[in-house]
Amino acid sequence: MKCNPYLPFNEYIPDGEPHVFEGRLYLYGSHDEPNVNQFCPGDYVVWSCSLDDLTDWKYEGISYRRTDDPHNTDNVHALFAPDVAKGPDGYYYLYYCLDFQQEIGVAKSKRPQGPFSFYGHVHYPDQTLLHEYFPYDPSILVDDDGSVYLYYGFAAHFSGGSFGTITPSPGCMVVELY
């Protein structure tokens, strides 16, 4: 029986990002778990299907574990809102954020379904981490000329929440990656 409407009934992938690579549709996203009162407590998983049959989804397994990021070896932070892009070098790059940490992590794989290995955190040439306007919920665009752009944003003032010293973004932020 197919449910949810295309994933098993107990599978929850919020912040979903669909991408077509190598003739398949891949679904990346955060990973909620049933009966857990917390956002995104799971490791990232990937689902895929053939473009010829969008009803036959395959579980590709865990693509990235929460503890793979060296800033989360104690497993206290959740993985939020990932995006994946195929880089000009042919590798697949997973961009993600840990809950309310002012940084964006990057993991790398030879395959679109992973597994992905920690690659680093987005930083400036002087190794300072990108942190302005709370980099959160990354999206990646690889342009036709091979340029790679990171889009992000966080608008705490819209959520009504208090986030301490976090400065919300004035809108969508974009930086070119090298």
Whole-prediction pTM: 0.89
Q: Cα-flanking dihedrals φ and ψ of residue 70, to 5°? A: -65, -15
Is the CB of residue 82 less than 8 Å from the CB of residue 138? yes
In the numeric block, the tokens 């709370």 are attached to 134
Task: List helix spans (H) across 21-161.
Answer: 156-159
Query: In 3D, which of 137, 118, 136, 131 has the Cα closest to residue 69?
Result: 118
Please report, in tens digits, the pLDDT of each residue of the chain (178 residues total): 444 567 887 888 888 899 999 999 999 998 888 888 888 888 999 999 999 998 899 999 999 999 999 999 999 999 999 999 999 999 999 999 998 788 999 999 999 999 999 999 999 999 999 887 778 889 999 999 999 999 998 665 555 455 666 667 777 889 999 7
